[in-house]
Amino acid sequence: MTTLAFAILLAACMVAYALNRRAATGIRDGGQRLHSVSGYHGLFALLMILVPVLVVILFWLALQGAVVNTLIMSSLPDGTLDGLGAGQVDLILAEIQSISSGRVFGDPEPWKTAAAERFSGMLQTASLGLVLVTALLSLGIMFFARGKVSAEFRARQGVEKIVSGLMIFCSVVAIFTTIGIVASLAFETIKFLRLVPLTEFLFGTSWEPQIPIRADQIASTGAFGWIPVIVGTIVITIVAIVIAIPIGLLSAIYLNEFAPKTVRSVCKPVLEVLAGVPTVVYGFFAILVVAPAIRSLGAQLGIPVAPNTALAAGGVMGIMLVPFISSFADDALSAVPRALRDGALALGATRAETVMNVLFPAAIPGIVGGVLLAVSRAIGETMIVVMAAGLMANLTLNPLESVTTVTVQIVTLLIGDTSFDNPKTLAAFALGMMLFIVTLIINIFALRIVRKYREAYD
């Protein structure tokens, strides 16, 4: 049925285009001078139908499920849902839906079967309604647009206005996305903070996100202090940055100042390949190669190393960040005005002295910006740590031990079926909120540094 609605919309658009275009051509052939070319008359009709009807269809589809579900649940016999938790209500709804789609397990209660029948009936009505609304609306607009065709009608301006509107909408999507992120995170975080006080979340030193299965369970509360999680994140980030900065900076300096042109033109793209490798591949690389290597090295030296040590995850992440830092450093070094370089060389400085004493200090702001962006990326990086770092939150600074990170916790808390009413799920959103805030601050700061510095030399 949905396909039918889209087909009707498409057909209506094409018919309206042809009709208006033909009408406009007729007027022109009748000897009158058109304000707009006939194609614009057709385009005007097409857009007039396409935009509003598409919006209606999409809204209908987005809301249909929720509306039907609410109607079904409210039409159940009185008292069936009394005293049930949100999870159980969801379960009943899921059962009704599966019965209506023909998958019946066991003998469901008669009221469920009845509800399932009503459910499929409503769905049918809804999709029929969608097709009807689409057809009527398209037809109506088609007549309206057809009536507009005249010699003086400014069809081009009309089309351009609609196109402008569409483009503005496109640019506003970015804002909507940001608003969506902030709102959804904030909404769930506030729910979380109702269950767990803010001070406990921010300053608690124990992270054990369990939910009690029975009320009388020992240690039933779970603990939601994010300190061990953020400390783990910091440990892994530091390991990554410590590896990425020297390798990235030195290779940028070499490529920028010393390497022959041919070497540079080969090395730069190869280095970029490192940036293009998906993080899930790095993660598997960490557990397949790096972690065992570090462990056997530790065994040879007699140092105990945890199986999922922070060193492996951080080290691999460092490799991932090398091209990131080196390309930012490369840009920053190239942006230093030629005069500074030439001046230093003319005074008799060697190339190395020019780089270290003149270019590097001048490029520092750009490089710092790049490093900050790398830090924010390391904090937000998910797959490497999900695969290679630990799950248990240990409060330790030792990179040889197993630590967990904010992103690991978000993923492990949300993997699988989740309902939105327990602190475990909500804790993931609270962690997401903190992650978003921290990375946003670093990003804004870094982008500002990079931009300001560029302006200074331009």
Which residues, numbered 29-68, are part of the site for another protein (CB under 8 A)?
62, 65-66
Residues in the chain, total? 458
State which of positions 112-151 bind another protein (CB under 8 A): none
Three-class secondary structure of residue 426 per DSSP = helix
Interface with another protein by CB under 8 A: which range of 17-25, 104-112, 163-171, 296-304? 163-171
Kindly give the residue spans of alpha helices, DSSP state H, lying in 354-422. Answer: 360-380, 383-388, 406-414
The residue behind tokens 């939601």 is 224
Count of other CB atoms within 10 angstroms of residue 164: 10
State which of positions 321-360 bind another protein (CB under 8 A): 322-323, 348, 350-353, 355-356
Q: Which is nearer to another protein, 140 or 292 (CB)?
A: 292
Residue 233's nearest CA partner among 380, 374, 370 is 380
Judged by CB under 8 A, which of 11, 84, 167, 299 binds another protein?
167
Tell how many helices (H) and how many strands (E) occur in the chain: 17, 2
Q: Which two tokens stand for residue 106?
A: 């066991």
Judged by CB under 8 A, which of 178, 206, 221, 265 binds another protein?
178
State which of positions 183-242 bind another protein (CB under 8 A): 184-185, 187-188
Report angle CA 450, 455, 458 to the nearest 5 degrees.
125
Q: Show Cβ contacts of residue 152 under 8 Å, excluding neighbours closer than 6 positions.
A: 35
Here's the x/- map for another protein, 262-301, by CB under 8 A: it reads as: -----x--xx-xx-xxxxxxxxxx-xxx------------
Residue 396's nearest CA partner among 331, 291, 304 is 304
Q: Give me the least distance between CB of 317 and another protein, in Å please.
A: 12
Q: Which two tokens stand for residue 374?
A: 């790398």
Q: Which is nearer to another protein, 142 or 383 (CB)?
A: 383
Q: Which is nearer to another protein, 19 or 316 (CB)?
A: 316
Q: Give me the least distance between CB of 187 and another protein, in Å please.
A: 7
Q: Give me the least distance between CB of 107 and another protein, in Å please.
A: 26
Q: Give me the least distance between CB of 251 and another protein, in Å please.
A: 4
Number of residues in contact with another protein under rule CB under 8 A: 94
Enter the DSSP assignment of 256.
Answer: I
Q: Give me the least distance between CB of 406 and another protein, in Å please.
A: 9
Q: Give me the least distance between CB of 59 and another protein, in Å please.
A: 11
Q: Give me the least distance between CB of 300 and another protein, in Å please.
A: 19
375 binds another protein (CB under 8 A): no
Three-class secondary structure of residue 207 per DSSP = strand
307 binds another protein (CB under 8 A): no
Q: Which is nearer to another protein, 142 or 355 (CB)?
A: 355
For strand 223-224 and strand 207-208, is the pairing parallel, antiparallel, or unpaired? antiparallel
Q: Which is nearer to another protein, 303 or 451 (CB)?
A: 451
Q: Which two tokens stand for residue 308?
A: 């999922």
Q: CB of 381 within 8 A of CB of 407?
A: yes
Judged by CB under 8 A, which of 174, 213, 218, 219 binds another protein?
174
Q: Which two tokens stand for residue 148?
A: 């507009």
CA distance 192 to 170: 33
Residue 397 CA, chain-centre distance (Å), reads: 30
**253 φ, ψ to 5°?**
-60, -45
Here's the x/- map for another protein, 410-449, by CB under 8 A: it reads as: xx--xxxxx-x-------xx--x--xx--xx--xx--x--
Q: Which is nearer to another protein, 8 or 378 (CB)?
A: 378
Interface with another protein by CB under 8 A: which range of 75-83, 137-145, 317-325, 331-339? 317-325
